[in-house]
Each structure stands twice: as structure tokens, then as C-alpha cells.
Amino acid sequence: MDEVVFLSGLLAAGIRLAAPIALAAIGETLSQRVGVINVGIEGIMLVGAFIAVLLAVQSGSPWIGLLGAILAGIAMASLHAYFVVTLKTEQIVTGIALLFLGLGLSGYGYRLTLGELGAAVKVPGFRELDILGLADLPVIGPILFGQHALVYLAVASAIAMAWMFRATRLGVIIKAVGETPAAADSAGIHVDRVRFLCVLAAGGFAGAGGAFLSTAHLWGFVENMTAGRGFLAIACVVFARWNPVLAVLVALVFGIADAAQIRLQSIFPAVPYQFFVIAPYVVAIVSLAVGSRSSRMPAALGLPFAKPR
Amino acid sequence: MWKLIAGTALAVVMAAASAQAETKRVALVLPGPITDGTFNSAANKGIEAAKANYDIEVAIRENTDFAQIQEALRSYAEEGYDMVIGHGFQFAEPVLEIHAEYPDTWFVVNTAQVSAEPNVASFDNRWGDAGYMAGAVAALFSENGKIGHIGAIPVPVIEDYNLGFERGAKAMRPETEVLSAYVGSFSDIARGAEITTSLIEQGADVVTSTGNENVVGTIQSAQKGDVLAIGTAFDSHAMAPETIITTALINMDVNIDLAVGKMIDGTLEPTVYVLGLEEGGIGLAPLRDFEGKIPAEDKARLDTLVKDIRAGKVKDLP
């Protein structure tokens, strides 16, 4: 029985830790598929986390917070899109600027609004669902039926996006823009417009990832609370070879690796704790090294599109 | 007429200058944000209180990375600040490196134990004693005899607290099992929460946490997991009144108040000040609603323990 408790605890924690990474990774997949890399999603997540808390506190509903976080994510991403798509600036550099902008905006915004009250602010956050009353089943109950609504939304949108890439005209357009923008252009597609919109949508996902952290996993905002999860999301995208469903699964692997290190730490107190803490990052680095070998990177990733004259 | 104006102007300028000379300037350099609810918030409260008590002008710098510390310290010293306070043991090394170049500035390191002639002093709190009290409370309130401490990163003060926590628990109930784990970060509250949840799953029913923002994660997990928690640093009762039994207070505001006060009346020495219960450097917050939740004899044992620590009668303090 102890093993069962251990296992279900491990998986549940893994899913909680994976959810924000997965949401951001789904968005980043879309963005990269269309040819735009955004290394600033960490900054977008932070703004999303802050806005979610602010609006949830003010409105009393975490759903309003989530909506606000998605809109804030889109607004942040519109900056990125304006610079890299319209002005054709270097994508990595712009992304780093976005990261710091998000870090600063969220921290400063929190101080101006809720920060004065300290950590004692009561945040009306999301609670885990209990679908069909099955959440109490052993092991699979909490995992399949007792997650946060956002977790199900993440899985559903990953599947929807994979289907979109595979079976819809829109998917073909997105892939064409990311692979051979010149060809897409001559087929009459507005390359920059498609890119712009996809980057905006990606920002919405990152904002939702931030909202998960601050209103579902925890109820509250602290500065820099994402702690590198935006970068893990980028690693997920690469390792999943730009497939949104795989990206969610890879995020789950990272999450479970993190949940496992947490538990191993207290089981083996004699081993230095640093050894365990690095586990998810080791998984990330190894995955990048492995992933880069069989690359399916969108051919025009990182390259601005200049309409031929 | 012109002479009169010039004379008045001169007098005003001189008056302003002499007032300037009396107002001491104090800079507080923090490793994190003042909104963290624990370590940095406490320092901010301390300096705010000092500002009200003394004639000082204050500058605060937040989120100072280790790599930026020297530069930050130097810039305040070069600006002619009378005192630069580094909040955290990581300031010790950079302070020792540069203090001799700025003999007119006092360098104070908080939560460290270093000193140097003529201008480096440090103020530390007895974190081990605070942990000891927290451990004693945890052991008395635990029903399954399992308690847990979640530290941010094993820096000296957190290790002291950890050790005290275990010893204090065993002093009350020798059979208590003490679990311990580290987050690996001061700011990752999500991971802090998950580590706490894992200790709760292993049976811990009273948890405590040290660090910065990660403490918030522990308290929230305790709330969700329906177990009890003991706060650290400053009284976090309001955060979760049904969950937080008490707080092992680390009164870092007392450190700052003492440092500034001693500088102003000229009694600050280049030495290490270690502040325990007696000096008000640590404390135990009132049990409030939890007062009646343990038998009177246990409450009496706790009171005796606190008295003994104050009197220096407890032998196995870290």
C-alpha cells in the first residue's frame, strides 16, 4: 500500500510540476513551427502569473484571472511579434529583452498592487476537479479524474494542435511558413501575418502556464516564481521534435523527474541534496543532446522573412 | 542690502550643510526582493523602524546577485554612506575584501559571524535556538511522531536551524522522527510546496521551512494537506491562522536597529554580535488558538524550555 501511495503521490506531483511547462511548451511549439523562436516565454509566464493573481483577487474568480493572464500573455507576445516579425530584429536577443521586461513588469506591478499586503493576501485559486466523482479511486483516480481544469485543457489543446498540423489547411499554411516562407509567399500566403498571429497565440499559452503556477499549483505570486520553467519548456519543444503532444509528454517526464528527486532526497539523506536537485536539468540537457541528432527543426526557424521583390 | 541677502543665503547653506552632517546615511543591500514575506521583508521592516527612530537617511538596494555585491558595497561607500548593511552571510567575503579602502564607512553583515578592524561588524541571530524551539513545538503537536523541515539551501544559518529543530524535537519526545529536505532555491515556491507535500505523504504532520519565498510554498502545502506548520523569521500567523501553530521568530529588525543605534551613539565595535532570546534576536510567537490544543503539562514543558534556553541552561543547542 505504501508503494501505491508513493506512486500516486509521485505521479500527481509530476503532473502538477509539468503543467506550467507543458502549457508554455505547447505555445512555443506553435511559435517555432511558424519560424519564430521566443526565448522570453519565462517573462511572459511571470506576467501571466502576476495578472492571474491580481485579477483573481480583485474579481474573486480564478477564471477571470486566467483570462487576464492569457490576454496579458498575448499582449507581451505582441511586443515580441512586432519586433521580430515586423521589424525583423534578432529573435534570441529580442526574446532575452522580453524575459527581463516580464521579470521587471511582474515584480514591479505586484509591488504597486498587492505587494504592500505581503504574502497574507488570500488568492481565490483553482481547486482540483473531481470528474464524475472518480477522483478517490486508488492511484488512477487522482491522476485521471482529479487534476486541475487547466491540465485537461492543456492536453486537449496539444491534441487539437497536433491534429491541426496533420489534417487541416491552417496546419499546412503554418508549416509552409515555418519551412519555406518564400514558397508560402508565392502561394499567396501572408507570411508575416501568419507568424504574427501564431506568436500571439503562443503568448496566450505561456500566460496560461504562468496562471497555473500562481492560481492552481500555488495561490500567490512571488517575484521570479517561474524559476527557469520557461527555459525547460523550450527544451521540451526541441526534444519533442516540434510535436505538441510529444512536448506535453516530455514536460511530464521533466515533472516526474523533479517529483522523483524531491522524494529520493528524503529517502537517501546521506547523499548530498544537490545530486537530486540537478536531476530534471540533467534530463533536459541529455534530451537536448539526443534531440539535436534527429532534428526536424523548422527550416526557417529564427530567420526573418523578407518578401522577394 | 546685497550683503544681507548674501549673508542670509550663506547662513541657510551652512545650516543645511550642518544638518546634512548630522543625518547619518545608511544603505541596506538585500539579496532578494522586499516582498518575499520573510528574510528580506524582515530587513526592510527593520530599516523602516530605524528610519522612524533615528535621524537617518536610507537607501535600499534589492535583488543583489552575489556577483554584484562588491560593486554595490563600493558604490555606497564611495558615495560617503556612514553605514552599509549587507543582509546575508554571502556579504561577508566581499565586505572583508574591500572594507579597508573605506575607513569612514561602517560595514555591517547580517546573519554572519565576521568582523575586522576598524569598520566591520556582524550581527547574527541564534538560528539554532530558534530551530530548537520550533522542533520542541513540532514534537509536542505531532500526532504521528513525524515532523519535517524544508530548507531552501543548506547555508550555515539554515543548517543550524535544521540541527536545532531535530534536537529540540528529540528533547521533548525522543522517539520523534525528523525528516529533512532542501529545495535548492530560495525563490522556487512551487518546488518548495511539492517537497513539503512529499514529506506530508511520508507521514509528517507538522512542518517548518527556512529560506525566502519557498517558505510560502511550505505553508500553502500544509494548508492543503491539512497538517500544521511552524513559521520562521517573522510572525506569519495571518497567512494561515488555522495552520500556523506559532513562528520561530528571527528578529532581524533588532539586528538592524542595534547596528544603527550603536553607530549613532558611537558604541559600535568591530566585533560579532550574536543575538539570542535574551537580546531579542529570536523569539517564539504566541500560540494563540493553539494554546489549548496540547495538554497543560506539555505547555508547561514548552514554557520551561524557553526559559531554560534564555537562561543558557540547555546544553545541546547547536
Q: Which chain A residues have a beta carbon less than 8 Å from that of B44?
A: none
Percent of chain B with pLDDT strictly greater than 70? 93
Confidence of residue B19 (pLDDT cuts 50, 70, 90): very low
In angstroms, the separation between the Cα of residue A13 and the nearest Cα of chain B is: 7
pLDDT the model gives residue A10: 87
Q: Is B195 close to A119, i.e. CB distance below 8 A?
A: no
Q: By CA distance, what is B217's nearest residue in A?
A: A218
Q: Are B218 and B229 in contact (CB under 8 A)?
A: yes
Q: By CA distance, what is A215's nearest residue in B?
A: B190
Closest CA to A236 of A226, A221, A248, A220: A248
Q: By CA distance, what is A271's nearest residue in B?
A: B181
Query: SS3 string of chain A?
Result: CHHHHHHHHHHHHHHHHHHHHHHHHHHHHHHHHCCCCCCCHHHHHHHHHHHHHHHHHHHCCHHHHHHHHHHHHHHHHHHHHHHHHHCCCCHHHHHHHHHHHHHHHHHHHHHHHCHHHHHHCCCCCCCCCCHHHCCCCCCHHHHHHCCCHHHHHHHHHHHHHHHHHHHCHHHHHHHHHHHCHHHHHHCCCCHHHHHHHHHHHHHHHHHHHHHHHHHHHCCCCCCCCCCCHHHHHHHHHHHCCCCHHHHHHHHHHHHHHHHHHHHHHHHCCCCCHHHHHCHHHHHHHHHHHHHCCCCCCCCCCCCCCCCCC
Rounded to whole angstroms, how far apart are CA atoms A170 and A183? 16
Give this complex's ipTM.
0.81
Scan for cell 523569539, then name that residue: B283
In angstroms, the separation between the Cα of residue A256 and the nearest Cα of chain B is: 11
Confidence of residue A309 (pLDDT cuts 50, 70, 90): low
Which chain B residues have any C-beta within 8 angstroms of a chain A C-beta?
A: 32-33, 35-37, 41, 63, 148, 154, 179-185, 187-191, 193-195, 197-199, 201-202, 213, 216-217, 220, 236, 238-239
pLDDT the model gives residue A116: 65
Mutation target to probe the B interface, by most B beta carbons within 10 A, among A265, A276, A281 is A265
Residue A254, C-alpha cell as written in the block: 521533466
In angstroms, the separation between the Cα of residue A38 and the nearest Cα of chain B is: 23
Q: Is B194 close to A17, i.e. CB distance below 8 A?
A: yes
At A128-172, the pLDDT tens digits run 887 877 777 777 777 888 889 999 999 999 999 999 999 999 999
Q: Specify the amino acid at residue A17.
A: L
pLDDT the model gives residue A293: 59
Burial of A51 (0-12, 13-18, 19+ CB in 10 A): buried
Region B100-106 average pLDDT: 94
Confidence of residue B120 (pLDDT cuts 50, 70, 90): very high
Q: Is A220 close to B189, i.e. CB distance below 8 A?
A: yes
Scan for cell 503539562, then name that residue: B297
In angstroms, the separation between the Cα of residue A217 and the nearest Cα of chain B is: 7
DSSP label of B119: T
Mutation target to probe the A interface, by most A beta carbons within 10 A, among B34, B39, B201 is B201
Closest CA to A222 of B316, B187, B263, B30: B187
Residue B175, C-alpha cell as written in the block: 522517539
- What are phi and psi for residue B132, nearest 5 degrees? -60, -45
